[in-house]
Structure 1
């Protein structure tokens, strides 16, 4: 036990230096797994857009007041060969920082990658994608698009308009500048809608929707469930039937649709 703690301490220390690798074998309760960690740093400008594609594993992006982007990479696999078969490329151009995970699928069996990015809080987040993994964003700028095939999406304190899509997972969006869309095939949606700049749909096939609507929202609203009554709190909309409500907020310039096939809808006024 003391030896394992000592090795772990050394690994964390080495990982603090940009571009340095550290490899460790640990028993996570499901057998021995190899873990490799690395930290990379890039100087970025206030207009440098961030794009991340990590097929198998999580992505976490947090804004900070530095002018440097730091990327902490953790690759885990059942063997050293599986870990070595995974590559993470960072491509810095004048207006973009791209982080992309690649796999040699012959040897990368059951390997996964966690990417943790600290990014200048005035530089825009553009697109974050996973196939199998969660995405979490907070305290950033830009109009980010978050997409996952199977993973939860969470975004908080982002000043731009956001687009969110997952096939299998929940969506949470709080304290955002505006919404472009939010869709989940299998999962709940908890979302703030302070503003919209076009027609917007908030949909899930299997899960509830809890939405807080901005006081200055201009939208023609329709909300529909398959069989569950819709709850309204401080929002004036007409009940068109037991499972449908509609109405206009402001001048109703754009449409805002809420729909779930199997779950409840709760609409309330967003606190100022």
Structure 2
């Protein structure tokens, strides 16, 4: 597919061996604090990240651990102590969740994960998501309610969902993906370039195209914002 642009929508229309915190450092003043934590994981452990109020930045790195940095900001009347990070583990998943007990505290969350760890879920309530995602299995999701999403998808699960209610989506897709791709926006534009779709269909509110054998479902959806799909060389 060369390039398609569509103005859409009318307003109507583990075996995870976790040791917990291996290292932790803090620096603080009255309104800002930075915390670092490291988690040991085994190959194949699925990673899930949740942040209630703030951004999420997730990338691969060459290390063997999951490294987490929280930059906490308290507005006037807020307390830096109102924020905590929990880690929950099952046989095959490490789930990291930022808890903020007050609306006047926000957290910019940065996560670096090993190449052998697939991403299962990234979720924010209020904040943008920037991520490089390698995932596998039955399902995966990248979702925020209020914020944009900038994602690089190198591998996808059988059902992969990228969604925001208010914000744009910029997605770079690996050229060798096997996926049936759908993109839907109610108020915004749709654009796809540099991707070799074997079949494609445009409508007033969406786009559908097939990459490779189309065996996985990959969906992009926003209520208010544009969607841009492109190819990545990584």
Q: For the Cα contact (< 8 Å) 1:212–1:267, is it kept in 2? A: yes
- Selected match of 1:224 from 190, 196, 203: 203
* Equivalent residue runs for 1:231-242 within 5 Å: none
Partners in 2 of 1:80 and 1:261 — Cα distance? 33
The 4+ residue runs of structure 1 with deviation greater than 4 A are: 244-268
- 1:94 Cα offset (Å): 3.9
| Structure label with greater radius of gyration | 1
Q: Is the counterpart of residue 155 in structure 1 residue 160 in structure 2?
A: no
Deviation at 1:176, TM superposition (A): 3.3
1:141-180 to structure 2, matched below 5 A, reads 141-143=134-136, 144-156=140-152, 158-161=154-157, 162-176=160-174
Deviations 1:194-216 (A, max 9, x none): 5325xx5310111111113743x
1:195 corresponds, among 178, 199, 203, to 178
For the aligned residue pairs, the C-alpha RMSD in angstroms reads 3.9
TM-score normalised by L of structure 2: 0.72
TM-score by length of 1: 0.63
Partner of 1:231: none
Q: Tell me the equivalent position of 1:90.
A: 87
Structure 1 pair 257/115, CA: closer, same or farther in 2 (3 Å)?
A: closer
Q: 1:83 to 1:203 in 2, by over 3 A?
A: same
Check whether the contact 1:225–1:259 (CA below 8 A) recurs between aligned residues: no
Change (3 A) 1:262 1:57: closer
Structure 1 alignment gaps of length 5 or more: 1-16, 26-33, 179-193, 227-243
Give how far 1:95 is off: 1.9
Shift of 1:39: 0.5
- Secondary structure, counterpart of 2:163 in structure 1: strand
Alignment check: 8 A CA contact 2:179 2:213 kept: no
Which has the higher relative contact order, 1 or 2, with Cα contacts under 8 A spaced 6 or more apart?
2
Indicate which of 211, 232, 253 corresponds to 2:192. 211
The Cα of 1:122 is off from its aligned counterpart by 2.3
2:112 is aligned with 1:118: yes
1:163-214 Cα offsets, whole Å, 9 max, x none, are 2100011111113378xxxxxxxxxxxxxxx5325xx531011111111374
Give the 3 Å change call, closer, same or farther, for CA 35–53 of structure 1 in structure 2.
same
| Count of aligned pairs between the two proteins | 207
State how 1:54-69 maps to structure 2 within 5 Å.
54-69=51-66
